[in-house]
Amino acid sequence: MKKNTFNILLAAGLLLPVLPAQAETINLRQAVEMSLAADPRIKEREQVVEAARGMLEEVKGNAGWRVSANAFIGLAPEVKGGFYQDGNTYSGRTLRTDGDEIKGISEWTHLDFALIKPLYTFGKIERYSEAAQGNVDIKHGELKQTRGDIVYDTKRAYFGYLTARDTRVFLEDMQGRLNHAIDSVERNLREETGESRQSDLYALQTAKGLLGKYTHQARAIEKISLDGLKVLTGAGLNSDLSVADSSIEPVPFPRLELAEFQSRALLDRPEMQQLEAGLRARRALVAAKKADRMPDLYAGVVGQINYASQRERLDNPYLYDPFNGVGLTPVVGVKWDSVFGVANARVDQAQAELEAINHKRAFAVAGIPYEVAEAHANARANFEGQRELAEGAAAARRWMVASLADFAAGLETADKVADAIKNYVLTQTEYLRTVNDYNMNVAQLARLTGELK
């Protein structure tokens, strides 16, 4: 019994990979959430923000303890026999004179080190920390901007797919109606009933050619848009993804007034936040470059150790043997490392970069309200335009239906039917395109004001 159960489970496991993936239907909100969760560009920007935070921690770390050390093993002259010549005692007062002679070699171990902590840097660490924090805010603004771009791209793919799908379905329906009329004309011509002329057939075939072209284009755009949506949401090109909306509909017109949109854009738009962060960073950098011209006060411990095993130790406080000895002391000091011409040039450079950002901000303050006004005007125009086109498309449909009925009754010529069909196709497809444009105008308005939904 257990063996049979195992075989069944094994067979199910082998069959599972070849089963078709379960279809997934999503709405626009879900598509946006999936895109924000799956897009690698967000992961990339998040790591850039983390790198900027690491730089900030590095700058702050300069306020803590720091150590510098150097150790090596080398060679030193061997020395034995004491301080006086031939080992004479102090009473002989005969000093050795063989200092230049090398009678042997000893290993020499050397270590020097310093453990210090800045006490006062005239604002260097504080100002550089402010600049690094501004850089973090700039990178965070880039992350927010990337999120806004992804939301916009997802809406464009979603609405583009709905528009192309509705257009393709509509054109295929019109192809069916036109093909029926062509079949009727061809039958009349074969039977020579006199109800149709050869020119009628040519007029309808001309309309058929145009419809065929537009239908193929709509199918291509439909596939491209759906594939793009699959990639953006992370579902994968081979997934069976579908959208919940049965057709494209105009989104509600934004309730806020233009002035409110412009005010929000100046406050919440990522680019404005980046400019403000950039100004803070550059101001701090100018102050830091000025502080670089000043010294650093510090305290700590410095020391040195030397040891050579083949040299006798010289225990005399007035004489120093660089190859044997130990020294250690607490210190308070001043370190000054500045090239005046270079330091002044760096201050001027930082000041110029600050002024450049000030001018960029001035342009943004003037240009962003214009961008918002432009998007708002386009949204208003397309909102009103799609309403007019909806009425026009309804009238064009009634015109086409009436023309086909009259043509079937022999009361209308084929060229008039073809004109009615072409006008209906033009008006309906223009309506669908305008709805898509309007929806994207609203999406662009949200993007320009810093909304992330």
Judge if 303 and 435 occupy the same domain: no
Judge if 129 and 217 occupy the same domain: yes
Judge if 128 and 163 occupy the same domain: yes
Q: Does 187 reside within a domain?
A: yes
Average predicted confidence (pLDDT) for the chain = 86
Judge if 72 and 151 occupy the same domain: no
Q: Does 241 reside within a domain?
A: yes
Judge if 275 and 424 occupy the same domain: yes
pLDDT for 216:
93
**Each residue's pLDDT tens digit, 54-84:** 999 989 998 999 999 999 999 988 888 766 6
**Each residue's pLDDT tens digit, 89-99:** 555 567 776 66
Q: Does 11 reside within a domain?
A: no
pLDDT for 13:
41
Residue-by-residue DSSP string for 304-369: EEEE-TTB-----TT--BTTBEEEEEEEEEEE----HHHHHHHHHHHHHHHHHHHHHHHHHHHHHH
| CA 452 remoteness from chain centre | 14
- Of 7-11, 106-110, 189-193, 370-374, the range with the lowest mean pLDDT is 7-11
**Each residue's pLDDT tens digit, 351-361:** 898 888 888 88
Helical segments of 192-269, H only = 198-233, 258-268
* Contact indicator for 134, 278 with CB cutoff of 8 Å: yes
Backbone angles phi, psi at 255, to 5 degrees: -85, -25
Is the confidence at residue 381, as pLDDT, over 50? Answer: yes
- Of 12-21, 120-129, 192-201, 221-230, the range with the lowest mean pLDDT is 12-21
The tally of domains found in the chain comes to 2
Domain boundary (316, 337, 358) is at: 337
The DSSP element (H or E) to which 407 belongs, if any, is helix 340-408
The amino acid occupying position 174 is: M
pLDDT for 358:
85
Judge if 214 and 353 occupy the same domain: yes
Q: Does 95 reside within a domain?
A: yes
Is the confidence at residue 4, as pLDDT, over 80? Answer: no
Q: Considering the entire predicted model, what is its pTM?
A: 0.79
Judge if 77 and 41 occupy the same domain: no
- Average pLDDT estimate for 398-407: 87
Judge if 172 and 216 occupy the same domain: yes
- Average pLDDT estimate for 225-231: 93
- Of 29-43, 138-152, 215-229, 399-413, the range with the lowest mean pLDDT is 399-413
Judge if 261 and 362 occupy the same domain: yes
Judge if 109 and 215 occupy the same domain: no
pLDDT for 353:
85
Is the confidence at residue 336, as pLDDT, over 90? Answer: no
pLDDT for 398:
93
Domain boundary (308, 337, 366) is at: 337
- Assign residue 87 a region (left: φ > 0; alpha: ψ between -120 and 50; beta: otherwise): left
Q: Does 1 reside within a domain?
A: no
Structure tokens at 293: 């011209």
- Average pLDDT estimate for 419-433: 91
Q: Which of 173-187, 323-337, 343-357 has the highest mean pLDDT?
A: 323-337
Domain boundary (337, 359, 388) is at: 337
pLDDT for 156:
94
Alpha-carbon distance of 385 to 253, in angstroms, equals: 13
Judge if 229 and 330 occupy the same domain: no
Q: Does 81 reside within a domain?
A: yes
Residues spanned by the domain of 95: 66-120+295-337
pLDDT > 90 fraction of the chain, expressed in percent and rounded: 48
CATH of the domain at 263: 1.20.1600.10
- Average pLDDT estimate for 288-308: 92
Residue 18: pLDDT band with limits 50, 70, 90: very low
Q: Does 18 reside within a domain?
A: no
In angstroms, the Cα distances linking 214 to 220, 417, 425 are: 10, 19, 10
Is the confidence at residue 300, as pLDDT, over 50? Answer: yes
Residues 6+ apart with CB under 8 A from 424: 174, 393, 396, 397, 399, 400
- Average pLDDT estimate for 247-260: 91
Judge if 189 and 55 occupy the same domain: yes
Q: Does 7 reside within a domain?
A: no
